[in-house]
Structure 1
Amino acid sequence: MIKLFRNIRRKLLTEGNSLRYLKYAIGEIILVVIGILIALQINTWNENRTNKIKETAILRDLHQEFQKNKVKLDSTINYHRSILRATKKVMDLIGEPEATVLKHNPDSLIYLTLDYRDYSPSESVISDLISSGKLNLISSDSLRMLIFEWGSAMEEEEEGYATMDEMSQTMTLPYIAKNGSMKNTDHYGILKENSLSKFGPRNHLLFQEVEFENHMDNQAWGVANYLLKLDKLEIIINDIIKHTNRKTMIQE
Structure 2
Amino acid sequence: MIKFFRKLRWSSLSRKRIPKYLLYATGEILLVVIGILIALQVNDWNENLKNDNKEQLILKDLHLEFQKNKEKLQSVIQHHQEIVDATTQVLNLVGQPEAAILQHNIDSLLYITIDHYDFSPNESAISELISSGKLNLITSDNLRLLIFEWVSAVEEKTEGYETMDEMSQTLTLPYITKNGSMKDIDQFGIVKIGHSKFEAVNYKLFKEREFENHMDNQVWGVTNYLLKLKRLEIIINDIVRFTNTETPTQK
Q: TM-score normalised to the size of structure 1? A: 0.95
- Root mean square deviation, CA, Å: 1.5
User: Partner of 1:212 in structure 2?
Assistant: 211
Distance 2:23 2:244 in 1: 57
> What SS is found at the alignment partner of 2:196?
coil
Partner of 1:177: 177
Question: Cα deviations across residues 43-70 of structure 1 (Å, max 9, x unaligned)?
Answer: 1111111111111111111111111111
Structure 1 runs of 4+ with >6 Å offset:
none
The one-letter amino acid paired with 1:151 is V
Partner residue of 1:55? 55
| Superposition pairs of residues 140-151 of structure 1, within 5 angstroms | 140-151=140-151
Q: How does 1:4-153 map to 2 (within 5 A)?
A: 4-153=4-153
Give the counterpart letter for 1:56 in structure 2. Q
Aligned partner of 1:244 in structure 2 is 243
SS at match of 1:190: coil
Tell me what 1:163 maps to: 163
Tell me, yes or no, if the aligned pair for 2:157 and 2:229 is still in contact at 8 Å: yes
Alignment deviations for residues 179-206 of structure 1 (CA, whole Å, 9 cap, x no partner): 11111111111111x1221112111110
Report if aligned partners of 2:242, 2:250 keep a CA contact under 8 Å in 1: no
Once the two structures are aligned, what percentage of the paired residues are identical? 64
Closer, same or farther: CA 251–139 of 1 in aligned 2, 3 Å:
closer
One-letter code aligned to 2:35: G
- Further displaced range: 58-67 or 206-215: 58-67
User: Aligned with 2:206: secondary structure?
Assistant: helix
Distance 1:189 1:117, change over 3 A: same
Name the CA distance, whole Å, in 1 between partners of 2:31 and 2:160. 66
Distance 2:207 2:184 in 1: 18
Kept in 1: contact 2:5–2:25 (CA 8 A): no
1:5 to partner: Cα distance:
4.2
Amino acid corresponding to residue 78 of structure 1 in structure 2: Q
Moved more, 137-146 or 9-18: 9-18
**Whole-Å separation in 2 of the counterparts to 1:22 and 1:183:** 101
Query: Structure 2 vs 1, CA of residues 58 and 210 (structure 1 numbering), >3 Å: closer, same or farther?
Result: same
Aligned equivalents of 1:59, 1:123: Cα separation in 2: 14
1:157-189 Cα distance to aligned partner (Å, 9 max, x none): 000000000000010011011111111111111
Paired with 1:34 and 1:3, the residues of 2 have a C-alpha distance of 16
What is the CA–CA distance in structure 1 between the aligned matches of 2:243 and 2:212, rounded to whole Å? Answer: 46
Could you tell me which residue of structure 2 aligns to residue 229 of structure 1? 228
Structure 2 Cα separation of the partners of residues 250 and 84 of structure 1 = 38
Deviation at 1:250, TM superposition (A): 6.3
Rounded Cα–Cα distance in structure 1 between residues aligned with 2:231 and 2:250? 27
- Partners of 1:12 and 1:148 lie apart in 2 by 66
Checking the alignment, whether the CA contact within 8 Å between 2:63 and 2:244 is kept in structure 1 is yes
Take 2:118 and 2:199, find their aligned partners in 1: how far apart are those partners?
A: 33
The total of aligned residue pairs comes to 251
Letter of the aligned partner of 2:74 in structure 1?
Answer: D
Q: TM-score, normalised by structure 2?
A: 0.96
Q: 1:250 to 1:154 in 2, by over 3 A?
A: closer
Indicate how the Cα distance of structure 1 residues 196 and 235 shifts in structure 2: closer, same or farther if over 3 A, else same. Answer: same
Classify the secondary structure of the residue corresponding to 2:117: coil
Deviation at 1:14, TM superposition (A): 2.4
Cα distance change on mapping 1:118 and 1:251 into 2, 3 Å = closer
In 2: Cα distance, 1:250 partner to 1:11 partner: 59
Secondary structure of the corresponding residue to residue 99 of structure 2: helix
How far apart, in 2, do the equivalents of 1:183 and 1:237 lie?
Answer: 39
Unaligned stretches of 5+ residues in structure 1: none
